């Protein structure tokens, strides 16, 4: 954070900016799994008290983005492959329910809010800001849940989307962001048509493909150095 702007706003506002900043840095893969998140360092950087830093870190723990081992400093989480698969299983269930409910509630205001977000995804991709476009892609699904009008569904979706975004930052391979944007656009068309069943099938298929393509465990016994050198 710029030292000239870090004190701008109330402590609560600065804490909210710190949360958004740390969340984006983790989801976009800028902070590697295991990175220590020292309270004193973060408090000085964001211009907030250590008490507020603890509140921010607690939110990130709830999001599944940060681990806080007892008696040790908080650190960026590192989910296992099995934990990753569990997260995607839960997300598929929530995504189907969200798609059905939004199809039933669809109106011009929902269309504009979701459409505007997808346009932002595409603009970030066109500007070659792949990490930002991917983050916006994940946030699209949180917005989808918000449009259901079910606060609990939105909360659970926010947590599992954050968790799976971190998982993809760690394990993700063969991710086609362009295809994801196109599927979001297709989903909006299905929702606008009131086709709840096909919309639910689309999000289920999309998440299944993401899991299949990206969550492949490393082959046992592979030496990372030799694995790299074998390609040269």
pLDDT, tens digit, 9 for 90 and up, residues 29-65: 888 899 999 999 999 999 999 999 999 999 999 999 9
User: What is the C-alpha separation between 156 and 165, in angstroms, rounded?
Assistant: 14
Instruction: Please list, in sequence order, all residues whose beta carbon lies within 8 angstroms of the beta carbon of residue 95, skipping any fewer than 6 positions away.
Output: 141, 144, 157, 200, 203, 204, 207
- The pLDDT confidence band at residue 217, using thresholds 50, 70 and 90, is low
User: What is the C-alpha separation between 29 and 165, in angstroms, rounded?
Assistant: 9
In this predicted structure, what is the pLDDT of residue 16?
A: 95
Structure-block tokens of residue 71 = 């008696």
Overall average pLDDT of the 69-74 stretch: 82
Is-contact 136 113, C-beta < 8 A?
A: no
User: What is the C-alpha separation between 130 and 180, in angstroms, rounded?
Assistant: 12
In this predicted structure, what is the pLDDT of residue 106?
A: 97
DSSP state of 66: E
Is-contact 49 94, C-beta < 8 A?
A: no
Residue 137 confidence (pLDDT) above 70: yes
pTM of the model: 0.78
User: What is the C-alpha separation between 85 and 20, in angstroms, rounded?
Assistant: 26
Residue of higher predicted confidence among 64 and 232? 64
Phi first, then psi, for residue 75 (nearest 5°) are: -150, 155
Residue 5 confidence (pLDDT) above 60: no
User: What is the C-alpha separation between 213 and 24, in angstroms, rounded?
Assistant: 23
Q: Convert the pLDDT of each residue in 156-182 to its tens digit.
A: 999 999 999 899 888 876 677 899 999
Residue 126 confidence (pLDDT) above 50: yes
Is-contact 118 184, C-beta < 8 A?
A: yes
Residue of higher predicted confidence among 70 and 184? 184
Long-range contacts of 178-183 (CB under 8 A, 24+ apart): 178/125, 180/134, 180/137, 180/206, 181/118, 181/121, 181/122, 181/125, 181/133, 181/137
Tell me the CA distances in angstroms from 143 to 90, 137, 153, 221, one per residue in order: 17, 10, 11, 42
Coil, helix or strand at residue 67: strand
Overall average pLDDT of the 62-85 stretch: 90
- The pLDDT confidence band at residue 98, using thresholds 50, 70 and 90, is very high
């Amino acid at each position: 954070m710029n030292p000239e702007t870090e004190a701008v706003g109330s402590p609560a506002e600065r804490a909210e900016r710190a949360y958004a900043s740390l969340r984006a840095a983790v989801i976009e893969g800028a902070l590697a799994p295991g990175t220590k998140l020292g309270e004193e360092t973060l408090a000085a950087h964001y211009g907030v008290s250590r008490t507020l830093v603890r509140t921010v870190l607690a939110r990130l723990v709830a999001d599944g983005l940060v681990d806080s081992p007892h008696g040790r400093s908080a650190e960026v989480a590192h989910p296992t492959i099995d934990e990753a698969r569990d997260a995607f299983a839960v997300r598929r269930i929530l995504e189907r329910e969200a798609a059905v409910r939004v199809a039933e509630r669809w109106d011009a205001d929902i269309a504009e809010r979701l459409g505007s977000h997808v346009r932002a995804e595409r603009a970030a991709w066109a500007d070659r800001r792949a990490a930002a476009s991917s983050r916006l892609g994940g946030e699209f699904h949180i917005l989808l849940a918000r449009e259901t009008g079910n606060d609990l569904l939105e909360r659970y979706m926010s947590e599992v989307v954050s968790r799976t975004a971190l998982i993809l930052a760690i394990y993700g391979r063969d991710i086609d962001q362009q295809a994801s944007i196109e599927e979001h656009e297709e989903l909006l068309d299905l929702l606008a048509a009131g086709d709840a069943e096909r919309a639910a099938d689309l999000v289920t298929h999309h998440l299944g493909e993401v899991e299949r393509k990206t969550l492949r465990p490393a082959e046992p016994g592979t030496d990372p150095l030799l694995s790299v050198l074998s390609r040269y």
